[in-house]
Amino acid sequence: MKPETHSRSLTRREAIQWMLTASASLAVSDSLGAAAAGAQGGPAVTPPRGYGLDPDMVRVYQPGALWPLTFTPEQRRTVIALCDVILPADETSPAASAVGVPDFLDEWVSSPYPAQAPDRSLLLEGLAWVEAESQQRFGRDFAALASPQQTAICDDICHPGRAKREHASAVRFFKRFRDLTAGGYYTTPEGMKAIGYQGNVPLADFPGPPMEALRHVGLA
């Protein structure tokens, strides 16, 4: 006696489940095969490289939350002092160190992105030069120097056209350090206020560019 058979059409849900199951099985099979090949001396499979998950854009991250920081306590003291030589406090604006620029610089040189790797070596070597120069001239750490002594060291490397030839590497360091310091400072609320930047502020109406700006670009 023949067994009773039942026939019915395959639903769309079942078809999708079968397809997913088959795909997963193939993926597992391929992975196991690749691992076995590597264990037996076959061609190793290189895992994909990346930088991890995207950060949560609504979370406030603290320094070092995304990757390990670089500056030692000694380097950080030099960075703080040098930032404040470049952008000291005045009657209306705080110093660079007061608005977190040293934290920004530490994050910058610590990030894993290839475009920032040259800045890491440039800044670390430059900070070492500043400390060595400070010890040689004044016998003290740069952060412990009086303001005129700190300025004297910076004056020797802040003007490429007037710097000594042997200071060429220090000149490159100072230019990049100054650019990063300014970039970090003027993207803070305090820095934006210092230059009168009015972006990201809702306006009831838009009167148009001021006449001075129009004359500057030749439109008035």
For residue 76, what pLDDT is reported? 98
Average pLDDT over residues 2-16: 50
Average pLDDT over residues 2-10: 49
Per-residue pLDDT at 9: 52
Amino acid sitting at position 22: A
- C-alpha to C-alpha distance for 214 and 209, rounded to whole angstroms: 7
Residue 135 has pLDDT above 70, yes or no: yes
Boundaries of domain holding 173: 73-194
What proportion of the chain, given as a percentage, has pLDDT over 70?
Answer: 78
Residue 34 covered by a domain: no
Question: Are 83 and 95 spatial neighbours (Cβ–Cβ below 8 Å)?
Answer: yes
Residue 184 counted as domain residue: yes
Question: Residue 163 above 50 pLDDT?
Answer: yes
Which pTM was predicted? 0.70
Q: Which one is predicted more confidently, 11 or 166?
A: 166
Domain count, the chain: 1
Question: Roughly how many angstroms between the first and final C-alpha of the chain, as a whole number?
Answer: 101
Q: Is residue 171 scored above 90 in pLDDT?
A: yes
What residue type is 41 in one-letter code?
G
Q: Does the residue 26 lie in any domain?
A: no
Tell me, yes or no, whether 125 lies in a domain. yes
Which 3 state secondary structure label does DSSP give 162? coil
**In this structure, is residue 95 part of a structural domain?**
yes
